[in-house]
Structure 1
């Protein structure tokens, strides 16, 4: 490929984002993160008189990260910016846009180590018992909320995977569900009998009521709580285009339950529980992984369940378990 060193930096960034979205099939959340970081880089470079890709050098990249650190940005943000620009310059070099990769020697401080929030087994049990009591009234919203939380905890899936599930993806006989993960990768995830019972109650008594209500209204089952730009991964690929009639979970208006709607369901449950950290669906993913490891599950099996590309990503949950063990020791042992 002919070298394109005369191209403007902004043009090269647009080409890289198009490649990330269509060529590599990365999630919209990842592409948005790349776009935000690289737009900041373009603005920084332009303010310093650098407009061409060929003029983008290691020193300018280092100055960009130093400026972020000087302005008090979180170390995790600076580390992510470093990763974004290195992905961009590597692509530009490999694609022939520039002769060499200026970001190959760029380093940034490692992100601060924050353990994810984990809910205890007793707290999960109490929460699910409360949801089950509400669902016993056959209220459609309560039946849905119980099924949502049971599946999030049982399968350890991402919220974007949850809202992308269609009814046909569920195998109640084998206790498995097919989900579409990051990068368009499908996997089949198991769940337990309590989740199956909650899903059957939702499918038999809750979902038809919401779907019928929507169809009796204006005839358009629009998505519930999946507004663009809400900061979370959207449902991708064919799942995103599937009609609400196919969706496993529906919102209160009868449309496909969206990411924001799922967050609201979970946030209401977690906001009054003790403990710091986010109060979103990912908490149940963290909790499921930690409880599996605490119960003796193999780390690679948990990696497969969660759909992690790298075992290193899964290993953070061993740190969570160790932290909990140290806390138990500190509070229980007389000579701790």
Structure 2
């Protein structure tokens, strides 16, 4: 369960990447984050994480927003776009560089092949005109936090992740820095998202501490898996949602979140469903995992229950 002080207004968010239309797995995260925020009487925002132009699909962001609207998931305030927020990321990066906790890295991926891509020190003699910027992770660095669904989590960031990238060698901002800056600047107090991002959370907490930013509460929802136990993804051809008939999908996702069935008879649209769902939502019923034939492991060696 989330715990908030009376003086802190609850604010959640949904932050998709515009790499294709929303599918059942992404809408589960949207619905789950909306329910947690609304259950606490809070606000819910939408942020488009369009930081990687080579992976973006033209028109995907607007299609995603149209799908959210068709399913009755309307954000509070304007939708934000990470591609317009580079000045905030640059200011945060300069603070980290000035503090000596971020550094230029000239290592290529091939140079780090022997360590599985985990950076602990730069390869001597490597120089490139377009170095990446990494966060310096101290030896023995361990981050622990409490996830609302998965309980106590710990990660040895130095061993399992290493010095991680803040700005890529191609000049693009890394997800870890952008999401930390955005969550703080937008006043996000709870982050409800898919469990595939569970092992990113320690890096984000480490960055929050380095920048002196607050740490929100976290809940990582179960992933929707295909028949082979793999996470549904746009890259694997997951089917787009049927915007014209939202109630059956909302009902299915509601049940996947472990909630008691709602009476659909007589409901005239997603607005009525969400009103009933908001009143009936019980966070303690949300499962850690959804059944599948062969659940996919996600970086199992890097993150373990404490």
TM-score by length of 1: 0.22
Q: Computing the radius of gyration over CA atoms, which structure comes out larger, 1 or 2?
A: 1
Higher strand share: 2
Higher helix share: 1
Q: Which has the higher contact order (CA 8 A, sep 6+)?
A: 2
TM-score by length of 2: 0.23
